[in-house]
């Protein structure tokens, strides 16, 4: 049966745009490695994300098969315990950071600008930088195999097992550096998505009307923004413990390993939702499209995404029920964890209601969606049981948990990703994936999944702990492990079919038109694949289904039907640049230096500064970023200012995490009242200086807006000078502190808090110096003018950004000051 | 249309295959389950409460699952052949949505109340611990401080009497777990956690480390032996004695070997010159049922194997291979076997 008929007897792909652009035209531009290295096009970057994610997926699947083979019978000798531990640690880390997140972010990268009718992301170069950081982060992680062994302490890497005393080899350090790069990539990406969704939507599209996958990505970006810094803080402390002899997690030096668990899970649990919210978004696109119906209860779907995101930050300690935390705390976390079942349940019911009464088209995509509903529900339910504290005491850290999270991540995230790949592959390539292979793949993966993981639930209940490299023959686990391993091979076979299908279909897949599924969101209103700039023309947007309106007319509340007009979009050439690649490369070098080679670290720092200077210098002023459809003047915040605010939100969580850790240590060691044992006069003076600089920064911004040249330059320079004096004071204090970084837990806390703050001040100063040069150059272009020129979107936004950042540094100082000098 | 008929068959075959798979899994479960430390075959007070709780929770949640699967099956069957023009274009229904928000809310409330009630029932009043369990890479030190002995990797407990344990760690995080007695309690360096429950039936129960603790996490087990109170008292008295003097000729030779080859740098045997604390106390090694944190059962053959090549049985464990002539290895085995 022909594919088209399966979708809808012959009516697929009626051109809506009428534009004369074909897939061939989009492909006609020069390819080659250079094109990928220099691209800033969100679609190419998205494809690179997806491709990279799939490669890492394959590696992690191979790891999984090695593990399942090792466990196929008791006392199997395929892998040594050390190798097994490295493989399960790398499997988890890879699946979460190098497959799960990149595949979803890659899809979002490709689709969000298309879905909201934008030409590209808000910051195309930063977008490229995000990708290169991801790639380099992955390479660092895998390089550890060549240098003494990979991470062997699990993706959660509980301290103190990760300290030098118990993990002397560098696998953990590689992991830290890798996750810092990956975290930076994710944070940068999420800022980009937030600003893109807030400011780059096509005219007429409200935030509420964004396609639901874009909404999910938007919400998800906030989760990433606020969750990752908690991990970064934990990694920073762990790094100091390992490389500089502090003892934040070492009980023999006054530290407390429980801090790691709090910080890790404050990141780790939202991370689970980071992996599932976009999957829910994909589901909410696929189910309506193949049910030929609008999404049922769209508003509640959006609200529930937000609710899940919020609750995700309030449940972290349900990973720690066995850690001996206060009973009341456990109970609260149990309650909040259970609450998540409500919005999740609503989503399931809304998908079912969308299918109810629909004309179902059983493509591979919809099969995966149905598979998700059937199987993810099992995972959701076992998830609720894990929130039941006493049951969790029994099954936590057993195979029951392994079964549970594969049930939500594999039968959830991965199934949704597959649904999404089958759904959007025609858009990305102009060709269909084979439905025959797709259906075989679906049944193999669904069946393989059940056979692999349902026995693992039973094994957990039968007392089999997780993360064991083998088991004894006389404890009754042999048969179920055998079944699970066989299921694993079937599952892997299904995965292989996806790769076969992709490779086959890229060359000889059936051509797809612009809108092969006859869906209703904007990504289908352009060629497949879309050309640079995405759209030749766009419909007027009235609802969340613009293409439905374009075809059938928009029906308002009074029942009047209105024709939808199409508006031409001017074409624009792609701005290529290699700079993001080199910046990422500089960061990679710096990361390698962090592994313990100071000289390399210095080279990396220099490289970053040079490449950033090139980035900031260039022709950036005029062309990049492309200004949003509505000018900054019409909004409360400039779009660069918005990006800075998002970044500040993220940094706040970083400092909050560090401060929480320090306060925890004070309580743990009962140290109060003496501050850090340093003289308080200088810090007081320093505080006044920093506040003064906040005031001058504010008036510099005001002066810039009022185009008062003299005032702006004077106040900006004054701010910089005050900042430098502050840093000087800080340096003097270090010089005379009389104790070293690792002398005591209080000393370490002092240096960590003031040090990270000082580093932020330094970055702020660099930003302000950059503003100074940039504004001067703008002025030089217009000799003879006494006043500042009309603010350009770029510079004006940067002035906002610089000022916000400086205020943030001030605000953080207040808290740091209280914790370090007064408590 | 022939195509759709074919497809229908394909869809209906899927669930049948899945059901078949389930049957296989269940059969395997029944076949394999009888020797396992199954938490559903609990013989401890805490474990029993949890089994009761689990019955309720899984009962309620099975109802949810069946509902979802039922609706899914219904919409698939009814939606398959429907023509596009017949698809309803409804965008939502506030009343229905409120209903299916409220029902999960009620279910969750019930589950939460059950959780709190059972948690409180498991929670026994605090009392001084009878002994301290210390997790180590990769064995268990059970220190009966008040009674003056250590019983590594093996706990005796009188049936029907509450047991109170303080759990700690000497290095990294471990977790104390006897599946058939009750839940896990993490052993965190710098913290003291508490385990309390009542063992309800005599027998030998497997204990396992259930927090990843390094390379040999997989072979960190212990035995929890529940006995009649009289037998427990006898055990305590025996454990309090110093090591027995060797009697057999091989064992006498073994006693000399163990003192001369450096075992004492890690191991202690009370009443001898061996005073090490890094490894397990061997004073009553012969009375224990396991070797190497219950990696092997304690038989003379297994003990010889362990002494000959520890690193093959438990790679990367902290016990090094001690290269000795076979005769001396056999003498060691004989001596350790006599340490009842």
* Residue of A391, A439, A466, A664 to mutate when probing chain B, most B C-beta within 10 A: A391
* Whether the predicted pLDDT of A234 surpasses 60: yes
Catalytic site includes residue A269: yes
Residue A553 has pLDDT above 80, yes or no: yes
Residue A309 pLDDT greater than 70, yes or no? yes
Nearest in space to A693 (alpha carbons), one of A821, A816, A802: A802
* Distance (Å, whole) CA A587 – CA A187: 15
Q: Measured between CA atoms, how close is A54 to chain B, in angstroms?
A: 27
Over residues A301-316, mean pLDDT? 96
| H/E stretch holding A561 | strand A561-562
**Backbone φ, ψ for residue A201 (5° rounding):** -70, 150
Residue A788: per-residue pLDDT: 64
Angle at A112 between CA A110 and CA A118, to 5 degrees: 100
What's the whole-number mean pLDDT along residues A535-560? 90
Asked if A398 and A458 touch (Cβ cutoff 8 Å), the reply is no
Is A67 in contact with A61 (CB distance < 8 Å)? no
pLDDT band at residue A21 under the 50/70/90 scheme = very low
DSSP, res A95: I
Which chain A residues have a beta carbon less than 8 Å from that of B177? 465
What is the secondary structure of A691-756 as a DSSP string? HHHHHHHHHHHHHHHTT-HHHHHHHHHHHHHHHHHHHHHHHHHHHHS-S-TTS-HHHHHHHHHHHH
Handedness of CA B104, A267, A144, A592 (dihedral sign): positive
pLDDT band at B6 (very low <50, low <70, confident <90, very high): very low
Angle at A538 between CA A532 and CA A541, to 5 degrees: 135
pLDDT of residue A806: 97
Chain B residues with CB inside 8 Å of A360's CB? 75-76, 79-80, 82
CB count within 10 Å of CB A785 equals: 11
Region of poorest pLDDT, from A69-83, A557-571, A716-730: A557-571
CA distance A495 to A448: 10
Q: What is the pLDDT of residue B36?
A: 87
Of all residues in chain B, what percent carry a pLDDT higher than 70? Answer: 90
To the nearest 10°, report the CA torsion of A623, A629, A635, A637.
-40
For residue B205, pLDDT over 70 is answered with yes
CB contact under 8 A, B101 and A85: no
pLDDT at B75 over 60: yes
- Mean pLDDT for all residues in chain A: 91
In chain B, what percentage of residues exceed pLDDT 90? 83
Rg (CA), chain A: 27
- A567 or A678, which is more confident? A567
Q: Region of A415 please: left (phi>0), alpha (psi -120 to 50) or beta.
A: alpha
The residue among A15, A1, A90 whose CA lies nearest residue A518 is A15
Contact A167, A153 (CB under 8 A): yes
For residue A555, what pLDDT band results from cuts at 50, 70 and 90? Answer: confident
Let me know how long chain A is: 823
Residue B218: what are its φ and ψ, rounded to 5°?
-65, -20
Report which of residues A557 and B242 the model is more confident about. B242
pLDDT at A1: 36
pLDDT number for residue A557: 82
CA within 13 Å, CB half, A104: 35
Q: Which residue of the set A41, A152, A241, A271 is catalytic?
A: A271
Question: What is the rounded distance in angstroms from the CA atom of residue A587 to the CA atom of residue A607?
Answer: 8
Is a pLDDT exceeding 80 seen at residue B12? no
Percent of chain A with pLDDT strictly greater than 70:
94
Nearest to A352 among B49, B71, B184 (CB): B71
Q: B324 to chain A nearest CA, in Å?
A: 25
- Residue A188: Cβ-neighbour burial (10 angstroms; 0-12, 13-18, 19+): buried
Please report the residues numbered 57 through 76 in chain B whose beta carbons come closer than 8 angstroms to any beta carbon of chain A.
57-58, 61, 64-65, 68-69, 71-72, 75-76
Q: Model pTM?
A: 0.94
The more confident residue out of A455 and A31 is A455
- Pick the residue of B106, B188, B221 with the most A CBs within 10 A to test the interface with A by mutation: B188
Q: Determine which of A673-687, B61-75, B132-146 has the lowest per-residue pLDDT on average.
A: A673-687
Nearest 5°: CA angle at B48, between B47 and B53?
95
| Arithmetic mean of pLDDT over chain B | 90
- Count the neighbouring beta carbons within 10 Å of the beta carbon of residue A192: 27
Phi, psi of B33 (to 5 degrees): -75, -15
What pLDDT sits at residue B34?
64
In this predicted structure, the answer to whether residue A60 has a pLDDT above a threshold of 80 is yes
Give the lowest-confidence range in A10-19, A72-81, A305-314: A10-19
Q: What's the average model confidence in pLDDT over B287-310?
A: 95
Mean pLDDT (whole number) for B263-292 = 95
β-strands A566-568, B149-150 pairing? unpaired
pLDDT for A240-273, tens place per residue? 999 999 999 999 999 999 999 999 999 999 999 9
pLDDT score recorded for residue A623: 42
Please indicate whether residue A169 is annotated as part of the active site. no
User: How much is the average pLDDT of A523-540?
Assistant: 93
ipTM surpasses 0.90: yes
Task: Check A201, A269, A404, A760 and give the catalytic one.
Answer: A269
Residue B10 has pLDDT above 60, yes or no: no
CB neighbour list of residue A71: distance below 8 Å, 6 or more residues apart: A470, A471, A481, A484, A485
Which of A238, A259, A230, A263 minimizes the C-alpha distance to A162? A238
Angle, helix A42-70 to helix A81-93, in steps of 10 degrees: 150
Return the pLDDT at A5.
42
Name every chain B residue with its beta carbon within 8 A of the beta carbon of A339: 108
The residue of A85, A162, A388 whose CB has the most chain B CBs within 10 angstroms, and thus the best one to mutate to test that interface, is A388
């Amino acid at each position: 049966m022909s594919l088209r008929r399966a979708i809808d007897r012959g009516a697929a792909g009626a051109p809506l745009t009428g534009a004369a652009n074909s897939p061939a035209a989009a492909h006609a531009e020069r390819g080659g490695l250079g094109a990928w290295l220099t691209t800033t096009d969100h679609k190419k970057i998205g494809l690179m994300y997806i491709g990279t994610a799939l490669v890492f997926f394959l590696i992690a699947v191979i790891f999984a098969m090695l593990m399942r083979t090792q466990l196929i019978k008791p006392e199997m000798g395929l892998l040594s315990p050390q190798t097994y531990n490295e493989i399960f640690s790398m499997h988890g880390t890879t699946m979460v950071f190098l497959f799960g997140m990149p595949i979803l972010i890659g899809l979002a990268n490709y689709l969000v600008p298309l879905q909201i009718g934008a030409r590209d992301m808000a910051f195309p170069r930063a977008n490229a930088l995000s990708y290169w950081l991801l790639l380099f982060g992955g390479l660092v992680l895998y390089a550890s195999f060549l240098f003494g062994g990979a991470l062997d302490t699990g993706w959660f890497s509980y301290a103190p097992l990760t300290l030098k005393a118990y993990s002397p080899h560098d696998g953990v350090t590689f992991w830290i550096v890798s996750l810092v790069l990956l975290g930076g990539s994710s944070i940068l990406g999420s800022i980009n998505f937030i600003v893109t969704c807030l400011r780059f939507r096509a005219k007429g599209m409200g935030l509420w009307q964004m396609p639901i996958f874009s909404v999910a990505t938007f919400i998800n970006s906030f989760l990433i923004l606020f969750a990752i810094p908690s991990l970064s803080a934990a990694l920073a402390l762990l790094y100091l413990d390992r490389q500089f002899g502090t003892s934040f997690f070492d009980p023999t030096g006054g530290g407390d390993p429980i801090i790691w668990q709090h910080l890790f899970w404050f990141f780790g649990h939202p991370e689970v939702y980071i992996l599932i919210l976009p999957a829910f978004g994909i589901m909410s696109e696929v189910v309506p499209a193949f049910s030929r119906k609008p999404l049922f209860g769209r508003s509640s779907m959006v609200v529930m995404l937000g609710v899940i995101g919020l609750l995700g930050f309030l449940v972290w300690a349900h990973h720690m029920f066995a850690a001996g935390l206060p009973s009341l705390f456990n109970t609260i976390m149990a309650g909040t964890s259970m609450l998540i079942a409500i919005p999740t349940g609503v989503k399931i019911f809304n998908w079912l209601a969308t299918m109810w009464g629909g004309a179902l088209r059983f493509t591979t995509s919809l099969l995966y969606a149905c598979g998700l509903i059937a199987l993810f529900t099992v995972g959701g339910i076992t998830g609720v049981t894990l929130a039941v504290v006493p049951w969790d005491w029994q099954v936590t850290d057993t195979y029951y948990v392994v079964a549970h999270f594969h049930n939500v991540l594999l039968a959830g995230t991965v199934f949704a990703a597959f649904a999404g790949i089958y759904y959007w592959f025609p858009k990305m390539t102009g060709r269909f994936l084979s439905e025959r292979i797709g259906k075989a793949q679906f049944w193999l993966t669904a069946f393989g999944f059940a056979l692999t993981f349902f026995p693992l639930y039973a094994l957990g209940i039968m007392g089999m702990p997780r993360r064991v490299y083998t088991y004894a023959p006389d404890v009754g686990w042999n048969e179920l492990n055998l079944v699970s391993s066989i299921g694993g091979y079937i599952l892997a076979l299904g995965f292989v079919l996806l790769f076969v299908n992709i490779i086959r279909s890229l060359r000889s897949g059936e051509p797809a038109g612009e809108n092969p599924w006859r869906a209703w969101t904007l990504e289908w209103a352009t060629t497949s694949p879309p050309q640079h700039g995405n759209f030749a023309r766009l419909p007027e947007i009235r609802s969340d289904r613009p293409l439905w309106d374009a075809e059938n007319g928009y029906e308002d509340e009074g029942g009047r039907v209105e024709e939808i007009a199409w508006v031409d979009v001017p074409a624009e050439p792609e701005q290529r640049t290699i700079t993001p690649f080199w910046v990422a490369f500089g960061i990679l070098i710096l990361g390698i230096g962090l592994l313990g080679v100071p000289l390399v670290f210095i080279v990396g720092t220099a490289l970053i500064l040079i490449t950033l200077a090139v980035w900031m210098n260039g022709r950036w002023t005029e062309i990049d970023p492309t200004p949003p459809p509505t000018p900054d003047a019409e909004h409360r915040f400039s779009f660069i200012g918005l990006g800075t605010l998002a970044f500040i939100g993220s940094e706040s969580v970083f400092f909050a995490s560090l401060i929480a850790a320090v306060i925890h240590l004070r309580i743990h060691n009962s140290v109060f009242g003496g501050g850090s044992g340093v003289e308080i006069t200088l810090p007081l003076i320093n505080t006044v200086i920093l506040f003064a600089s906040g005031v001058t920064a504010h008036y510099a911004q005001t002066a810039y807006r009022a185009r008062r040249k003299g005032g702006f330059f004077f106040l900006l320079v004054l701010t910089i000078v005050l900042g430098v004096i502050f840093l000087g004071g800080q340096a003097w204090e270090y010089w005379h502190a009389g104790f070293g970084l690792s002398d005591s837990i209080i000393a370490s806390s002092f240096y960590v808090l003031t040090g990270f703050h000082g580093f932020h001040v330094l970055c702020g100063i660099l930003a302000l110096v950059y503003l100074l040069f940039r504004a001067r150059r703008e002025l030089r272009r217009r000799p003879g003018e006494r006043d500042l020129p009309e603010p350009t979107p770029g510079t004006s936004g940067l002035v906002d950004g610089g000022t916000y950042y400086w205020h943030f540094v001030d605000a953080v100082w207040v808290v740091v000051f209280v914790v370090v000098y007064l408590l | 249309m022939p195509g759709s008929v074919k497809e229908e068959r394909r869809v209906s075959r899927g669930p049948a295959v899945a059901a078949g798979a389930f049957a296989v899994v269940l059969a395997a479960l029944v076949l394999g389950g009888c020797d396992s430390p199954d938490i559903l075959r609990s013989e401890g007070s805490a474990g029993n409460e949890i089994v009761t709780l689990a019955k309720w929770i899984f009962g309620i949640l099975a109802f949810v699952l069946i509902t979802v699967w039922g609706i899914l099956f219904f919409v698939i069957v009814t939606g398959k052949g429907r023509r596009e023009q017949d698809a309803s274009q409804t965008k939502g229904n506030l009343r229905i949505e409120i209903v299916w928000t409220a029902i999960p809310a009620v279910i969750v409330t019930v589950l939460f109340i059950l959780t709190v009630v059972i948690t409180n029932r498991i929670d026994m009043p605090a009392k001084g611990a009878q002994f301290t369990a210390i997790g180590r890479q990769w064995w268990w030190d059970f220190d009966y401080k008040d009674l003056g002995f250590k019983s590594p990797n093996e706990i005796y407990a009188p049936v029907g009497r509450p047991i109170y344990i303080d759990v700690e760690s000497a290095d990294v995080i471990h977790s104390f777990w006897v599946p058939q007695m009750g839940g896990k309690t993490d052993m965190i360096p710098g913290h003291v956690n508490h385990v309390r429950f009542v063992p309800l039936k005599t027998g030998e129960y497997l204990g396992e480390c259930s927090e990843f603790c390094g390379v040999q996490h997989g072979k960190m087990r212990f035995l929890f032996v529940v006995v009649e109170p009289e037998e427990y008292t006898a055990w305590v008295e025996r454990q309090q004695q110093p090591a027995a003097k060797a009697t057999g000729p091989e064992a006498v030779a073994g006693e000399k070997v163990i003192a001369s080859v450096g075992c004492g740098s890690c191991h202690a045997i009370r009443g001898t010159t061996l005073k090490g604390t890094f490894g397990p106390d061997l004073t009553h090694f012969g009375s224990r049922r396991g070797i190497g944190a219950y990696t092997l059962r304690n038989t003379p053959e297994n003990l010889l194997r362990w002494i000959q090549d520890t690193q093959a049985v438990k790679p990367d464990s902290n016990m090094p291979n001690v290269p000795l002539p076979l005769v001396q290895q056999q003498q060691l085995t004989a001596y350790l076997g006599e340490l009842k």
